[in-house]
Amino acid sequence: MIGRYAEITKVVPLFGCFNIGSSATNSKALDLARCHRATFLIVHGVVTAASPTLQSVVLTVLASSVVTSGTGTAIAFNYRVSGAVATDTWGSPTAALAAGATIMAGTLTGATVSIDVDPAIALNGPASLDGRYIRIVATPGTGVTVDNMAVVAEVEPRYIQTSPESAS
Name residues whose C-beta falls within 8 Å of residue 135's C-beta, 6 or more positions apart in sequence. 14, 26, 27, 28, 29, 30, 61, 62, 64, 69, 72
Q: What is the pLDDT of residue 162?
A: 62
Single pTM value for the model: 0.86
Neighbours of 39 (CB within 10 A): 17
What are the pLDDT digits (tens) for 76-130? 999 999 987 888 899 999 999 999 999 998 899 899 999 998 887 777 755 556 7
Nearest residue to 168 via CA among 151, 150, 153, 158: 153
DSSP state of 164: P
| Strand duo 101-104 + 94-96: pairing | unpaired
Q: Which residue has the higher pLDDT, 29 or 122?
A: 29
